[in-house]
Amino acid sequence: MASNPKCILSSALVLHELISYQPDDLVMPASMAKEIGVIVKTWFEMLVLGLNHTSLVGNDEDIALILIVTCNLGIDTLRLSKNLENSKPPTDFVQTILVDANEIESLRQCSTNIQGTVLQTIGELAVFVKDNLNTIGTEEYKSFLKFLLNFYYDAQSDMLIELSDVLFTKGYLSSLPRVQIESPEECTSQLLPYLVEHILRLQKTLMPPLYITKALWLVFAMSTISNGAFKSLEERVYLEKATDRIVTMIQANIQTLYTHNPAILFWAFSSVRIPNYVRRLVLTQWLNKENSLPEDLTREPLVWQLLLSILTQSKDPAIVSNCVTTLNSCLETSDDEVAQEFDWNICYLLDIATTLVPRKLNDTVCLKISVLVTTLLSKALPDTSDIETKDHFQYDSSVERDSSVLQLVFTVLNSGFNTPIAMTYSFEEIATDDQECCALRALMFRVQIVLCYRDSEHRTSIGWKTLSSIFKHTIIYKNDSRLVNILTCQPWIYSLIRFTLAQEITVEFLTFLNNWISLLRIAIKKNMEIRKTCISKNSIITRTMNLLKKSLPDENYKDTTKQILEVSCDILDNYCNNN
């Protein structure tokens, strides 16, 4: 029978007429409901088999008819299962005596079994529709979507999760994200005028179901950020009004309605009609899964303020950790003046740290705090009146100790994998990538301070060797290009180079300079591939490259000097804006 589509259709239409007749006062015994469940399951299996057989034969008309009949039968079957699930005990005294005590429970079990049959059928239809999209017409596809949406509306929650997993694993739901990524404007921008019209026609007191609002918010956000067609003032006013309506719909259930998609994040900052508390809630949901922001948002001081607000209000450790990482990244990539102005506004965090004392204190944390407090207080002590004692102390600490420490660091970093290196305060915890990055940056800065002293040739020599060993350690043993770029682009390096060029040039300095400028060229090249912008002629990089061309000696260390000058000229010619 499965090979005869006409026979299947005629019989299925009869079954559909029987199932579709469901009066309001319908009362069905559990035994009959069980038999209907078996019949429906058998017919759904036969319809799917007939659908697959017909697609192999190639009769598009029969495919369309069978698909529509199957979907319509599925919708009415869902309606029947809902009626069975909502069955109530009889009110008539005689019927109450005659009815089995487990009758209602049996009817609800039959309803669950029927929904399971429908779930299996939808999964098979999803695969069929995905594989035959080119041959299925609009009406047939609309029938399938109607069947799918009815199931999402009526089925039990555990079945919805299973269906979503099936649709995702089968690839049925992958087409929309793929089209949105490849051509967002073609995918969603044309929807925006119709979405705005639809939203504004809704009654202000009407609150759609959450699943509809969730989908509406995502599509509206995608359309808004990818649309540039609203040029008239009237259209932009309507868009702002629609945005205001969307905010009203979502503001009470943002955590439930949020979809993890960059479009939602960008939309939150697309209009002045969106209040900051909505932006903060959206940003919180984003940080629940991510520890960074898109580059377009990292330069916005408003985003920094919202990150601070999340830090002070969120109680989720994962969100707080991701927020700290994100805020640190924003400040590192921002303009120095803007970041410095922002720094003055975060002093209240110190007040929070001193007032919100945890119930249980960790010994290691207490030790760190005591060291920090001691360091801060020591800077406020008055200078000693004994000049000889002061000079002796400075000489002992800055010359002998610094030289020994630099020699130790140089030896450890060049020992390879034989010597374990702890990049944290304690040996018990494993350092994260961010902790290692901060530790190496702090180490490089400490070496730079030593190199700024003028009174020890040995200290200067081992200092340049140590800086070179840090880069070598990062490249060979860490193999982290991001970390190499961060260490290469530290702003104090340019000041240190200009300071050193005014003194006697050593071979250790030239060796470091040769390694550093090669890494700098790689970092600049990667950055230009992403941002597509040249370096300003007034930037510190351009000024440093020009200074190298003027100040490097020609007579000593000709080979190394030649390599450095070639790289500096290449940076000036190819990556700097000389206009």
Residues 443 and 502 grouped into a single domain = yes
Confidence of residue 176 (pLDDT cuts 50, 70, 90): very low
Nearest to 64 by CA among 126, 124, 118, 141: 141
How many Cβ atoms are within 10 Å of 203's Cβ, its own excluded?
A: 6
Domain membership flag for residue 526: yes
453 found inside a domain: yes
Together in a domain, 409 and 532: yes
Contacts (Cβ under 8 Å, ≥6 apart) of 171? 130
Residue span of the structural domain in which 103 resides: 5-179
Summarised one tens digit per residue, pLDDT across range 194-246 is 778 888 888 888 788 887 888 888 888 888 887 655 667 787 888 888 899 99
In a domain, 42, yes or no: yes
Alpha helix (H) ranges present in 86-155? 93-98, 103-131, 138-154
Q: How far is CA 22 from CA 80, 82, 489, in A?
A: 7, 11, 74
pLDDT in tens, 527-555: 777 777 777 777 888 888 888 888 876 66
pLDDT at 94: 44
The CA distances from residue 300 to 42, 100, 462, 531, 533, in Å, are 61, 68, 42, 17, 19
Whether 12 has a pLDDT exceeding 60, the answer reads: yes
Same-domain pairing of 196 and 136: no
Residues 140 and 203 in one domain: no
- pLDDT tier for residue 179 given thresholds of 50, 70 and 90: very low
* Phi/psi of residue 534, nearest 5 degrees: -90, 165
The pTM for the full model equals 0.37
Does 158 lie in the same domain as 230? no
Residues 64 and 148 both lie in one domain: yes
- Look at residues 113, 145, 179 and tell me which one is the last residue of a structural domain: 179
Residue 366 located in a structural domain: no
Same domain membership, residue 168 and residue 197: no
Mean pLDDT of all residues in 297-307: 86
* Boundary-marking domain end, from 179, 211, 226: 179
Over the range 74-86, which residues count as b (16 or more CB within 10 Å of their CB) and which as e?
Answer: bbbbbebbbbbbe
Distance, CA of 325 to chain centre: 13
Over residues 34-89, the pLDDT tens digits come to 888 888 888 888 888 888 888 787 677 778 888 888 888 888 888 888 888 776 65
What is the distance between the alpha carbons of residues 508 and 405, in angstroms, rounded to a whole number?
18
Residues 222 and 346 both lie in one domain = yes
Residue 382 lies in a domain: no
Q: Is residue 271 part of a domain?
A: yes
348 and 209 together in one domain: yes
Q: Is residue 46 part of a domain?
A: yes
Q: Residue 556 sits in a domain of what CATH number?
A: 1.25.10
Q: Are residues 206 and 109 in the same domain?
A: no
Tell me whether residue 363 is in a domain. no
- Residue that is last in its domain, among 179, 212, 228: 179
Query: Is residue 258's pLDDT more than 70?
Result: yes
Number of domains in the chain: 3
Query: 239 and 169 in one domain?
Result: no
Neighbours of 534 (CB within 10 A): 16
Same domain for 196 and 167: no
